[in-house]
Chains A and B, each alone.
Chain A
Amino acid sequence: MNDIPKKNILSAQVDLSKFTDASFAPATEEEKRQQDVMSESTTFFKDGMRKLFKNPLAVGSLVLLAVILITIIVAPMVVPYRYEEILSVNGKRDKGAKNLAPFTYSEMEQRYIENGGERFPHIFGTDEQCRDYFIRVVYGTRISLFIGFFASIIVLITGMLYGSISGYMGGRTDLIMMRIVDIIYSLPDMLMIILLKVVLDERLRFPPGSFLDRMGTSMVSLFIVFGLLYWVSMARLIRGQILSIKENEYVLAARAIGAKPGRIIRKHILPNCLSVIIISTALQIPSAIFTESFLSFVGIGVKAPMPSLGSLANAAREGLQSYPYKLVFPAVIICLIVLSLNLLGDGLRDAFDPKLKR
């Protein structure tokens, strides 16, 4: 032992005097097992979903959205009234069923029930034109969600096509396409939407009975307006993503073996910016719902008798003093939908794209 010189305190040399033979014995089975990788290998998508389901706010919003969705799908099958139906008892118009409070019956209905008839309760009461308010709110939620979802899809498709072409082509094409985007971006969107909507509502005429006609001109013009104006920020976002992704080696490799631009965009670039696309689409839905409710308020939203949450809330302002609940129901549902979509979008962003976390 003494022939080993004393170790300098600053030396990095291993002090062999501290080891015995036991230190070099082979590892026991138990020790080997500690080295095993216990967690399963995971994909990017699975990992993101796991993080998402750990976020209580996101899970809560998912549950809430699921409840709302199930309600609006199931309720029209259960409730025997239609959204444009003026209430009647035994084929006679029920004039007393105006502005009933929740879970009450009109005099005619009362008599009908006393005579042994069955009457489905008016869960939210009735409106000023003797229509069941619950089913109107259900249909309003359907319409608002449909508009939000469909408008986001339109924005997504337009923005994705435009942004990916512009970003992939680069050079002069990119410059010109982005100047166009700059100009559309600097237009005040809400004013332009109002203007376009006023004109389109007057001009659009569809052959009677066709699909577009059944959807209604005001709804179609709403989608046209979204398709024309709202895609620019999506296009900018996707272009930015593509500009950074296309510098990667695998894109160069794909190009080297002769893949066509369309294939490179579809197979290599778009899947890599999928998370950003999903997140901004999720955040687009509430903004479309907001826009629709604003337009309904200004009087150019969906056409009566079709309800949307915005037009219901607007109609409720008339008898606000006497029937405040008529405002509260659609208002609470708009807020819940927008809130849960916002929280879900934030949760998706945190789960799939930690870089974007604010």
Chain B
Amino acid sequence: MAKYIIKRVLLAVVTVFIICAITFFLMHAVPGGPFNKEKALSEATIAALNERYNLDKPIVQQFLLYLNNLLHGDFGVSLKNGREIGAIIGESFPISARLGVSAMLVALFFGTVFGSTAALMRNRLPDRLIVFFSTLFTAVPSFILATLLLLVFCIKLQWIPVWSADSQNYVLPIVALSAYPMAYITRLSKTSMLDALSQDYIRTARAKGVSKFKLIFKHALRNSLIPVITYAGPQIAYIITGSMVIETIFTIGGLGSKFVSAIYNRDYTMIMATTIFLASLMVIANLICDLLYKAVDPRIKLD
């Protein structure tokens, strides 16, 4: 186990390093320096600025300096508004995290509930309805769902006020963000529940006279949850990219919408910093999920 953990942590560190390298060198391939403004700067000013931001040094040395700054929590300065990117991330990430974590929890909870219900009522009406809707929702892109929700509930029916600083209603964003993972988890937990229900230990438990409640919750459900946990790891990536869209549509000032506007504005330092931050977050989350999953199910081989 210890060997496996070390190996996985090393792989994660290498991945984060590669992400930093790819991001850094790709962004340096973009034409035009950071001081290309409408007003032409004098040669001396540019030279001074280049020296101030270490742009006169060889590119490998620049990369090492950038890495060093990253390790000290210094993400650089936004090209467009000159603010510290670290500060922008610090204030906008908690909003995204709250949205993402709640969406994930909603998806996990309702996905398992719907999936298990469908498995237990196999080929009856609830099962058919659940299968129909989960198939449907895996085919709806999140930005379309979010826009439709906004149109129907905020604009036409006016049940929920449009998101603003004083009315922070997370209901619609969470519904829009969790729809796809919820549909997927529903399908997944249905098959794994059916699988668990056909196992010998369920028949044994039933023969022993275990009550139906205990049979489902203690024996079947717990075993059917393992594939769902595996799925939660990669899903974090979906939630993070999905929240870019959702935050932009609902005009929530989280990190996702900041990233999208940085892409629109071609704010390269901001794109670079946010990519590295989000990518590292995904790698770490995946690592934790993988380790947890091996810890939960001792039958899984460590390789």
Contact = CB atoms under 8 A, between A and B. Distances in A.
B136 interface: yes
B263 A299 contact: yes
B279 A191 contact: yes
B144 A334 contact: yes
A298 interface: yes
Given A202-B30, A293-B143, A298-B244, A186 B249 contact: no
B266 A198 contact: yes
Nearest to A203: B29
B286 A293 contact: no
A92 interface: no
B78 interface: no
Nearest to A296: B143
A195 B275 contact: yes
Interface stretch (A18-26, A210-218, A234-242, A338-346): A338-346
A199 interface: yes
B278 interface: yes
B18 A198 contact: no
B263 A188 contact: no
A191 B263 CA distance: 11
A165 interface: no
Given A187-B15, A202-B30, A331 B144 contact: yes
A251 interface: no
B8 to A, nearest CB: 10
A152 B4 CA distance: 34
Contacts of B26: 195-196, 199
Given A191-B241, A195-B22, A299 B283 contact: no
B136 A339 contact: yes
Contact of B27 (A191, A199, A286, A317): A199
B118 interface: no
A294 interface: yes
Given A203-B31, A320-B155, A342-B139, A198 B15 contact: no
A319 to B, nearest CB: 11
A238 B12 CA distance: 25
B15 A297 contact: no
Interface residues of B, number: 46
B30 A199 contact: yes
Interface string A271-296: 00000000000000010001001100
Contacts of B151: 320-321, 324, 327
Nearest to B27: A199
B122 to A, nearest CB: 14
A188 B282 contact: yes
B155 A321 contact: yes
B30 A183 contact: no
Contact of A313 (B15, B144, B260): B144
B141 A186 contact: no
B191 A358 contact: yes
A192 B22 contact: yes
A49 interface: no
A300 interface: yes
Given A186-B283, A194-B275, A196-B26, A327 B135 contact: no
Contacts of A324: 151
A298 B31 contact: no
Contacts of B64: none
Given A300-B263, A327-B148, A358-B191, A338 B282 contact: no
Contacts of B279: 187-188, 191-192
Contacts of A297: 143, 245, 248
A102 to B, nearest CB: 18
Given A327-B151, A358-B191, A335 B144 contact: yes
B139 A188 contact: no
Given A187-B22, A191-B279, 16 more contacts: A186-B11, A187-B18, A188-B278, A188-B283, A190-B241, A195-B275, A203-B29, A290-B141, A297-B245, A297-B248, A300-B263, A320-B155, A331-B144, A335-B140, A339-B139, A358-B191
Nearest 10 Cβ contacts at the A-B interface:
A339-B139, A338-B139, A190-B241, A331-B144, A188-B282, A186-B15, A199-B26, A358-B191, A188-B279, A299-B264
5 contacts: A186-B15, A194-B271, A199-B29, A293-B141, A313-B147
